Structures are given as structure tokens and as C-alpha cells.
Amino acid sequence: DVKVTQSSRYLVKRTGEKVFLECVQDMDHENMFWYRQDPGLGLRLIYFSYDVKMKEKGDIPEGYSVSREKKERFSLILESASTNQTSMYLCASSTRTKGSEQYFGPGTRLTVT
């Protein structure tokens, strides 16, 4: 059974703080993704990674960076949190097979005050 975990379910940070969100998967998946979910906007891709130390920008990368030092771990970094980054953040992983299922983590609800 694929398991994707995220470091926190709820997080409250202040404007300007540096924020780390961590995601770990235990199925040896090559691909990992970070999305944010906002009402009426669906799931929007922030960054993804096809392999260790590889990263590619998604559709809304501004204000975010990522790190993938180990295959099982993918971190999302908010360099200087802003109120418009208040959102639900979802991590996902998949195999490298084209059209493979993405397995999601439980999500982190981040509030920036």
C-alpha cells in the first residue's frame, strides 16, 4: 500500500517567515509533486521532481522553491511567507510510467497571518 505522508496537517506562520513543508513516500516512486488547493481553483502544480536533485517548475512556482536530496523526500520551501500563500498544500508521488496514478498525501493546511 502506497503511503505518502506530510510533516504537518495544520501550520500557522507569520508573514515573512521561512516555511518548510516536507513530504515522504515509501514506494520508491521516481516522481514527486507539490500542489496547492484553493476553492474554485482546483489543484495547481507548484513544482515537481522526476529524480533526486531534479526539479521543474509547475504552473505557479513564484514565491516557492523545492529540494529533493533523497528519493523518498520532497520539500517545499516558502522563502518569505505571505498571506496569499494561505492554502492547502498537497504532495503526491508516482512512478515514472507515463499516465501512472498519482498518490496524494493528507495535505497541510497553512495559514499565514
Partner 1 sequence: GENVEQHPSTLSVQEGDSAVIKCTYSDSASNYFPWYKQELGKRPQLIIDIRSNVGEKKDQRIAVTLNKTAKHFSLHITETQPEDSAVYFCAASMGNEKLTFGTGTRLTIIP
Give CA–CA dist 46/108, Å, rounded.
14
What is the 3-state composition of the chain as percent helix, strand, coil, each rounded to the nearest 5? 5, 55, 45
- Among 66, 107, 108, 112, interactor with partner 1 by CB under 8 A: 107
Give CA–CA dist 106/113, Å, rounded.
23
CB of 42 to partner 1, least distance (A): 4
- Among 7, 67, 86, 102, interactor with partner 1 by CB under 8 A: 102
Binding mask 5-24 toward partner 1 (x if CB under 8 A, else -) reads --------------------
57 binds partner 1 (CB under 8 A): no
φ, ψ for residue 85 (rounded to 5)? -100, 5
Give CA–CA dist 78/1, Å, rounded.
30
Contact residues for partner 1 (CB under 8 A)?
A: 4, 31, 33, 35, 40-45, 48, 50, 58-59, 90, 94, 96-102, 104-107
